[in-house]
Structure formats: C-alpha cells, structure tokens
C-alpha cells in the first residue's frame, strides 16, 4: 500500500481539512511532485498517515476527481490523471520603468504638507464611514454630484466658465480625459492639431487612442491658427494649453483665441483646452478660459494633480451637454468613475475653503522657488541663458542664445533632470533651452541645481 | 461721465479688490450686461462709486485690457471690446442613464456592513496620514507592491495560481482590465471568442475597444472549443468564465479546459479568464483556475467588486511576464493606476485576515439567500421553473420548460428586475429563463420577489 511521500501538514486548529488536503494534493500534482499515473494511497491509509478523519480524505479525493486531477478506477484505487498540462513557469519578471524619484527641475510635482493630508484623511474616513448603499455601487457615470457642484462654482468664480454641474465629468486624470474624448468624439486616424513644442504625454495619449496629432507652430501669441489651417486643413480638433502654453509659457492672445474659436465654429471642430496650471497665477487675475467664451466648442480639462497630488487620481472635464451621452457611453468601456469617497472628500475640502487656502499657501511657496531659481540662474549664467519669469505655473523656461545647440552637454555637465525644449518639439529645428520644474522640490536642492545649471551654461557659452 | 449701472459688490473684508472687480466686470461683459462698445466710467469715478482705491480700478482695467475684454483709447477712455464672441449657453443638460437602485434579483451587488467600512476607513486614513512623497506621485504602473504581494499569496493558496507579484497589475475594475488587454495585445478587428450566452458588459468593452467578439456556444461542460475552432478559426483569444460560467453557472470540465489550453498554445492565442465570483464557493474547494494550469497563455482577471464593493474600483490582472511591458505601455494612455492609499488599505485588510473573514461571513449570508430563493421558487413555481442551485457565485438560473417563451410576460407580471437568459445570448434561439442575483438584497425583499416570480411562472405555464 503506497504511503504518500509528501510533507503535507494540515493545520488541525483550522476547520476545512478537506479543503487543505485538496489544495496540498492539487499543488503537488500541478508542480509534478505527484507524477501522472501515480497511484495514491487509499483514503484509509492517508487518513491514518495524516491523523485525520477518513471522510475528509474521501471528500478531498472526490473534489480532485471532479476537478479532473485524479482518476478513480473502481477496484484499483485512485490515480493521478494522465495528460494534465504542466504549468510553464514564467520567465523572469521584468522591472517596469518606474517613475523617477523627484529630482530638481523634474516637472509636475506638487507640494503637500501634513495639514493637508490630515484634513483629507479625516474627510475620506468620514465619507467611507457614512457611505450609503448607492455610494458603494456603480454610481453616476459623471462622478460625485457634490464634487461637480464645487467645481462648477470654482470655475465660475475663478475661470469665468459658467457651466451646469451636470456638464462636468469627474476623471481619474487628465490623460484619461483625453482618452475619453478620443474614444467618444473622434474616429481612428482623425487629425488633431497640437502645439509644437507641446506636451508629449498628451500627444502620446492621442496617438495611443488611434488619432493623429499634427504639429502647429507657436509664436508669441500662442498657436499659429493660420498656419494650422493651411498645413492641416482636415483636422477635427485642436489640443491647446492657452492660459500658459506648455512648455513655452506663452499666453494665447485674445486675437488668437477668437481665431481658434472661429475655426472650430466654422467646421464644427473641437477645442481641447488643457488648463493644467491656472490655479498658480502669480501676476494679475487668471486669463479667461476658452471655455468661458465658446463653451459650445470647448472641451475643458482641469484637475487636482497640481493643487493636491498626482496619486489622488482626480481631474475633470467640462463638455457641452449635447455630447455628454456619447462621452458617457465611451466611458463605460474605459475607467467608469473614481471611488465616491475620494471625490466627496475633495468636495469637502473645496466646500470648507480649505482647498483654495491650501492652493494659495502653495502658490506662495512656488513663487518663492520661482524667484530663487530665476535669480540664481541669471546670476550664474549671465548672458548664456535667457530666463523667462512665468506669470503662472510650475515651470520656467531658460533659453540658450539664438543658434546655440549645447543643451545636452550643459544638462549633462550640470547633472540636472531638465527637459530640453528640443525634446518637447516635433519639428527638428528651433530655439534650444531648458524647461525647469520648480514645484515640489526642496528649495535648497533647487538653488544648488540652478547654480550648477547656470555655471554649466556659462562654461559652455560664456 | 458714465456711472456703471451694475450691482457690483466688493467684499471689503477680503484682500484682492482688483481681482474681485476684474471678475465682476469680466462676467458682466461676457453675459452682455456691459455691451460691446460701451464706454466705462473713468477709474476715478468707478473708485468713488465703489468706495475703493483708484489704483485697484486702474489695475483691473489693465488686466481686462490684457485679456482683450476692454480697449483703452488714449484720450477717450476705456471701452468694452467690439467683436467678442458671446458665449452660447448650452442646451438643457440631459440626465445620463444612472445605474438603477438595487432591486431584488438585480445582479452584481455586494453586502457590506459597518464593521467592514469602519475597518477600511481606518486603514485608508492611516495610509493617507503616513503617505510618503512616492505615494503621492505617479507610482509603479502595476500598482501597490503591498497589495500585489497579498493578492499573489491569496491566489496561490485559494486558486492554485502561482505567480510572482511582479506579474500582477492592479486595475480600477475588470472592464478596465479587458480594455487594457484590448489595447495592449490585440489589433482592431481581432476576433475574440465569447461564451454565448455570456457577460454582456465584457462583450461591450471588447466591441468598444475595436475588437470583434464572436459567439461560441456552451454545453454542460462549458464553452464548446471544437465548434469555436470550426466557426471562428482566426480568433486570437477566448474570453471565458470557466469557474462559474456567466450566466448559466456551468463549470468548465477539465477536458474542455485542456482543449482550450491546447487551442491557445497551438496558435499563440490568449485565454482571458474572468474569475469574477470564485471567492463565493458553497460546495467543495474552488476549482483550479486556468491560470493555475497554463499560466503562459492565460490573462487572469479577479477583483474586489464582489468581496468588498463596486465603488471601491479595485481589480487585478495576472499576466505572463513577457507581455508586461506592452501592457504597461498601453496603460499609460488609459487610467494609469488607482490611488495608492486605497490599494494599500485593501492590502492591510488582506494581511490581517480581515478580508478573508469578511468574505466568509458574507458567503454565509449569500448561501442563506440562495437557499431561500431556491426553496420559495420551487415551492411557488412547481414544474413551471427548473431552478439550479449554484455551487458558487451570487446568481442562480431559473429556466422555463423546454420550448416555453413567456419569460418577458412572467417578468412583467412579477415586477422583478431579472435578466432574461435570452438577453444574455447573441444567437436568436435557445432555452429561456431568468438570471437571478441574490446578493446584496434584503432577505425579505428576495423572498417576496421569489414568491411573485414563482407564482407568475406557474400562472403562465402551470
């Protein structure tokens, strides 16, 4: 009578010995320790060996037979099934490209503090504790009504956008929003104007969604609508950052805004307005959003990545009511909606004024960081860098003198993470320079990095 | 000298009178209260009228001019700009189709209790409070390492799946997972076998992603692989629910599992295994997942919608390591990742054993609900319904006698929400019956609904 030569240990303090034995035998069969065709011990012998009830063994055998892992042969015993596929052990697991840790001039970071986390944690906790059944189920595909009301109010007061909260869709991020627009409004291959230079992540998302981003050049007034119309007359939409062009920092002039709106109206095209950093305005009131002057052709994207933090995964889209049904249909096959408790907790932060205060507090920090970086760069680089002082946002541009091309070498010498202007551009030629993020980094780190970059620029170009 | 005939009220207790005045004037210009060409009062007159400092008015005018909303004409004054586009007020906001409130036999609901919410709220709160910088930024595109480790351990013990936590991708839902696979692995138009009848939401997602789900019939052993191969030889993948087919409840036999694996291996095809309810097993150990016997061809989908709740937005995918890079690249243009604090809080629930205990506790409730519904339906309907007792899951099937077609009428008479078998089917003909969800509904409601449905069936067919 065979004895099972396996170190099976059942935890007798736990119920479910059948379940434990079944799992142990299945694992042994699957990994080959019990080879195909092997005769198992009788249920009585195995029960004796393991010190458990025979019925438990019989039941485990029956389940294994039901699974197909063993074959009972009447009068002969129970055998490990023949012909089971052996699992192929996967190859080594590749390490995916992780986002880099924060380094000075890295873009898109936000500053948070313990006070914010404490307040947010309290709101989330309360929202989870008081969740109603409807909050736990699939909800309104537009997201929390509470958060949409707060956003609508903020947009009206701060951005000159008047919209019904019903026209707001809460997103898990701006890129998911662009993806939603791609799926809900456009057809594969549709051309979309993008600013050149521009935001590469959005270009990537448009391309991944099967669309065709086409570059339109900029000048001091923003996207050159006339050139766009001449070069890409068939485009169905324009993706723009009019309040503070990424990365150049240009604010689109009203003339250009009107030209863009006229273009969109004339062909029933769409304007995707990515208003990614207008909460951080250092000089004067924020510019009126395009969605404030042509709501019926504008798809407005805003979010909480910069005023709160990226890991929260919250952004929003304002869309004309006519296209909501098609957007929501597309959304059902994408990410659906973020958890209600996160949305409602952020709405709580807004309703009590905390969010606006936090944003103001952070704006002061960012402004100080901007001013320090500008001062040091100008001081160290001299004429080797032309440093713009952005009126808004979390990055600044430091350009090389016309014709200079040593940006790579300077960056390497300085050992900083700066994005190069040429890396944000689709066309091969144009001015060269550095796009420098100054938010979410310790001031001392920024100061040192600015010194190194300024010095390296002077060394190469002085 | 014109006086501004506008009820502008500045809050003198607030700083930023320039900002307030700018916003008020902009709003009035945009909504037409200050028409194009109107001459504004002088800054001095307006300052007097409003009782504020003249410099504040000058600054507001300058900002409005910068925006392009007003035109200063030297020597003549400041005028509302001509040629501004008037915003088109959006049409009425349509109410999107909201998910219906829970009604007896509605599918996919889960039971939660205060104890679970309390524990979850505590974990989330602690995770937010103790968040490190890396937790607030863009993180590992696979999601929380902590949660992936817990899931890997659960899958090994309970589902016979041995996988490196590095092969797990945390999702915001099962459908987002299917979408991710569609984007990362397939080309537009690729055929995907789906069970017929089957889960309509997954078919919808596949279609929305540009793929072509093609129906493969079922029998008592699950998907008919042979017919699939004959009818749709070019298919690149199969989407299956082998542990507990939705909606019929059939468990795929080992023979069929092996045939499906052989088919996938022979053509480098993929098996998408949606293991949507195997945590709720009422009889015997859970069946071994396909991912436990052919990990290299199986894309395994599991989630927390049924053991916790849908609004949490957490699910996961186990994928062979070779295809992780392409999946993660696709993910960058989809939803990226869920918030780290939600993921880590669920990992905490798992690590302390609470999640498994909660699942066991809910399983007892669901089993009781199942047994009550079965008993009442059998009692009330008699031979008019053939009621299966599912060994697993949160729904059961009540079929009409062969040839009977009165399902719509019976459902209407009973006033219940049941999905009809015919509604889950692509082919026009086949058996008729009701797919009845018994989870997440009060027991008394289920009992009454079962009585009504059973009675209506007997009235129509008795």
DSSP B371-419: HHHHHHHHHHHGGG-EE---SBSSEEEEEPPTT--THHHHHHHHT--PE
A205 → closest Cβ in B87, B313, B333: B333
Residue in chain A closest to B171 (alpha carbons) equals A335
pLDDT digits (tens, 9 = 90+) for A209-233: 999 999 999 999 999 999 999 999 9
The per-residue b/e assignment along A201-239, b for 16 or more CB within 10 angstroms, e otherwise, is ebbbbbebbbbbbbbbbbeebbbbbeebbeebeebbbbb
- With an 8 Å Cβ cutoff, is A396 touching chain B? no
B173 → closest Cβ in A92, A311, A336: A336
Q: Give the C-alpha separation, B274 to B318, whole Å.
A: 11
List the helix and strand counts (H, then E) for chain B: 15, 14
Average pLDDT over residues B290-312: 94
The conformational region for residue B162 under phi > 0 = left, psi -120 to 50 = alpha, else beta, is beta
* Contacts (Cβ under 8 Å, ≥6 apart) of A61: A40, A43, A70, A72, A78
pLDDT digits (tens, 9 = 90+) for A246-282: 999 999 998 899 999 999 999 999 999 999 999 999 9
When mean pLDDT is compared across A153-162, A254-263, A331-340, B210-219, the lowest value belongs to A153-162
The DSSP symbol for A384 reads G
Share of chain B above pLDDT 70, in %: 95
B122 φ, ψ (degrees, to nearest 5) = -65, -45
Strand partners, B170: B316
Tell me what pLDDT residue A26 has: 81
Which residues of B fall within a CB distance of 8 Å from A271? Answer: none
Radius of gyration for chain A, computed over Cα atoms and rounded to the nearest angstrom: 30
* Contacts (Cβ under 8 Å, ≥6 apart) of B251: B222, B242, B243, B244, B245, B287, B391, B392
Q: Which A positions 25-64 lie with beta carbon below 8 A of chain B?
A: 26-27, 30-31, 59, 62-63
First-to-last alpha carbon distance for chain A, in angstroms, is 90
Tell me what pLDDT residue A89 has: 47
- With an 8 Å Cβ cutoff, is A179 touching chain B? yes
Q: Specify the pairing of strand A386-387 against strand B191-196.
A: unpaired
Measured in angstroms, the CA of A296 and the nearest CA of chain B are apart by 6
Report whether pLDDT(A301) > 80. yes
pLDDT digits (tens, 9 = 90+) for A69-90: 888 888 889 998 876 655 444 5
Q: Using the beta-carbon criterion (under 8 Å), do B208 and A332 form an inter-chain contact?
A: yes
Q: Which B positions 183-212 lie with beta carbon below 8 A of chain A?
A: 183, 188, 204-205, 207-210
Tell me what pLDDT residue B418 has: 93
B218 φ, ψ (degrees, to nearest 5) = -110, 155
Tell me what pLDDT residue B324 has: 94
How many beta carbons lie within 10 A of that of residue B89, not counting itself?
11
Tell me what pLDDT residue B89 has: 47
Residue in chain A closest to B174 (alpha carbons) equals A335
A116 contacts A358 by C-beta, under 8 angstroms: yes
A215 φ, ψ (degrees, to nearest 5) = -80, 135
Q: Give the C-alpha separation, A217 to A430, whole Å.
A: 10
Report whether pLDDT(B269) > 80. yes
Q: Give the C-alpha separation, B443 to B432, whole Å.
A: 26
Q: Is A329 exposed, middle or buried (0-12, 13-18, 19+ CB in 10 A)?
A: middle
A333 contacts A201 by C-beta, under 8 angstroms: no
- With an 8 Å Cβ cutoff, is B304 touching chain A? no
Q: Give the C-alpha separation, A384 to A380, whole Å.
A: 9
Which residues of B fall within a CB distance of 8 Å from A295? Answer: 87-90
Q: Which of A285, A315, A340 to probe the B interface (max B CBs under 10 A)?
A: A285
Tell me what pLDDT residue B286 has: 67
Tell me what pLDDT residue B201 has: 94
Average pLDDT over residues A140-167: 90
A310 → closest Cβ in B91, B138, B257: B138
- With an 8 Å Cβ cutoff, is B23 touching chain A? yes
Which residues of B fall within a CB distance of 8 Å from A330? Answer: 208
- With an 8 Å Cβ cutoff, is A389 touching chain B? no
Cis-peptide, bond into residue A247, ω within 30° of zero: yes
pLDDT digits (tens, 9 = 90+) for A308-360: 999 999 999 999 999 999 999 999 888 888 999 999 999 999 999 999 999 99
B247 contacts B197 by C-beta, under 8 angstroms: yes
Q: How far is CA B259 from the centre of its chain?
A: 31
pLDDT digits (tens, 9 = 90+) for A429-443: 889 999 999 999 999
How many beta carbons lie within 10 A of that of residue A319, not counting itself?
28
* Contacts (Cβ under 8 Å, ≥6 apart) of B168: B142, B143, B148, B151, B152, B316, B317, B318
Residue in chain A closest to B173 (alpha carbons) equals A335
Strand partners, B239: B194, B272
Average pLDDT over residues B355-360: 95
Tell me what pLDDT residue A99 has: 80
How many beta carbons lie within 10 A of that of residue A255, not counting itself?
13
A67 contacts A26 by C-beta, under 8 angstroms: yes
Q: Where are the beta strands (DSSP E) in B243-282?
A: 270-274
- With an 8 Å Cβ cutoff, is B330 touching chain A? yes
H helices of B130-209, where?
Answer: 133-136, 145-159, 174-185, 200-208
Average pLDDT over residues B151-161: 86
Strand partners, B316: B170, B302
Q: Give the C-alpha separation, B4 to A383, whole Å.
A: 49
Share of chain A above pLDDT 70, in %: 95
pLDDT band at A147 (very low <50, low <70, confident <90, very high): very high
Report whether pLDDT(B87) > 90. no
Helix axes A340-351, A114-129, angle to 10 degrees: 120
pLDDT band at B374 (very low <50, low <70, confident <90, very high): very high
Q: Give the C-alpha separation, A115 to A129, whole Å.
A: 21
pLDDT digits (tens, 9 = 90+) for A379-416: 999 999 999 999 999 999 999 999 999 999 999 999 99
SS3 A77: strand
Q: Using the beta-carbon criterion (under 8 Å), do B137 and A102 form an inter-chain contact?
A: yes
B171 contacts B265 by C-beta, under 8 angstroms: no
The conformational region for residue B75 under phi > 0 = left, psi -120 to 50 = alpha, else beta, is left
Share of chain A above pLDDT 90, in %: 69
Residue in chain B closest to A115 (alpha carbons) equals B129
- With an 8 Å Cβ cutoff, is A11 touching chain B? no
Measured in angstroms, the CA of A55 and the nearest CA of chain B are apart by 13
Report whether pLDDT(B119) > 80. yes
Report whether pLDDT(B88) > 50. no
Q: Which of A160, A174, A303, A320 to probe the B interface (max B CBs under 10 A)?
A: A160
Cis-peptide, bond into residue A197, ω within 30° of zero: yes
Report whether pLDDT(B336) > 90. no
Tell me what pLDDT residue A104 has: 94
Tell me what pLDDT residue A260 has: 96
Q: Using the beta-carbon criterion (under 8 Å), do B253 and A68 form an inter-chain contact?
A: yes
* Contacts (Cβ under 8 Å, ≥6 apart) of B252: B221, B222, B223, B240, B242, B243, B245, B260
Measured in angstroms, the CA of A40 and the nearest CA of chain B are apart by 19
Nearest residue to A380 via CA among A461, A298, A304 = A461
A406 contacts A461 by C-beta, under 8 angstroms: yes
Q: Which of A18, A87, A445 to probe the B interface (max B CBs under 10 A)?
A: A87
Q: Over chain A, what is the mean pLDDT?
A: 91
Q: Over chain B, what is the mean pLDDT?
A: 91
């Amino acid at each position: 009578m065979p004895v099972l030569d396996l170190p099976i240990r059942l935890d007798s303090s736990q119920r479910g010995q059948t379940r434990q034995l079944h799992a142990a035998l299945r694992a042994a069969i699957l990994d080959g320790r019990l080879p195909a065709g092997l005769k198992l011990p009788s249920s009585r012998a195995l029960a004796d060996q393991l010190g458990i009830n025979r019925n438990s063994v019989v039941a485990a055998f029956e389940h294994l037979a039901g699974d197909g892992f063993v074959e009972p042969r009447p009068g002969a015993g129970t055998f490990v099934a023949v012909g089971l596929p052996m699992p192929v052990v996967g190859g080594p697991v590749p390490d995916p490209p992780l986002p880099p840790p924060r380094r000075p001039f890295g873009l898109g970071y936000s500053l948070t503090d313990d006070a914010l986390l404490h307040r947010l944690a309290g709101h989330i906790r309360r929202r989870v504790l008081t969740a109603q059944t409807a909050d736990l189920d699939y909800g309104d595909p537009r997201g929390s009504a509470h958060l949409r009301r707060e956003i609508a109010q903020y947009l009206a007061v701060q951005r000159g956008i008047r919209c019904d909260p019903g026209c707001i869709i809460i997103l898990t991020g701006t890129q998911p929003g662009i993806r939603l627009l791609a799926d809900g409004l456009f057809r594969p291959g549709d051309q979309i104007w993008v600013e050149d230079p521009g935001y590469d992540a959005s270009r990537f998302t448009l391309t991944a969604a099967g669309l065709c981003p086409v570059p339109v050049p900029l000048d001091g007034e923003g996207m050159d609508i006339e050139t766009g119309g001449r070069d890409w007359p068939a485009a169905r939409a324009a993706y723009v950052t009019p309040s503070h062009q990424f990365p150049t920092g240009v604010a689109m002039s009203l003339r250009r805004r009107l030209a863009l709106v006229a273009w969109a109206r004339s062909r029933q095209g769409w304007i995707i307005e990515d208003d990614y950093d207008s909460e951080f305005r250092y000089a004067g009131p924020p510019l009126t959003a395009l969605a404030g002057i042509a709501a019926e052709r504008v798809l407005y994207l805003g979010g909480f990545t910069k005023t709160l933090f990226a890991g929260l995964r919250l952004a929003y889209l304002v869309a004309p009511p006519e296209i909501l049904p098609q957007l929501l249909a597309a959304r059902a096959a994408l990410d659906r909606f973020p958890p209600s408790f996160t949305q409602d907790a952020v709405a709580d932060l807004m309703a009590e004024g905390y969010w606006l205060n936090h944003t103001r507090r952070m704006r002061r920090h960012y402004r100080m960081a901007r001013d320090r970086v500008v001062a040091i760069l100008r001081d160290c680089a001299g004429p080797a860098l032309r440093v713009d002082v952005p009126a808004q946002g979390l990055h600044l541009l430091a350009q090389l003198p016309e014709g200079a091309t040593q940006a790579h070498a300077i960056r390497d010498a300085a050992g900083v993470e700066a994005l190069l202007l040429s890396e944000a551009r689709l066309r091969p030629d144009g001015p060269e320079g550095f796009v420098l993020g100054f938010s979410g980094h310790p001031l001392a780190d920024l100061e040192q990095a600015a010194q190194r970059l300024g010095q390296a620029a002077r060394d190469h170009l002085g």
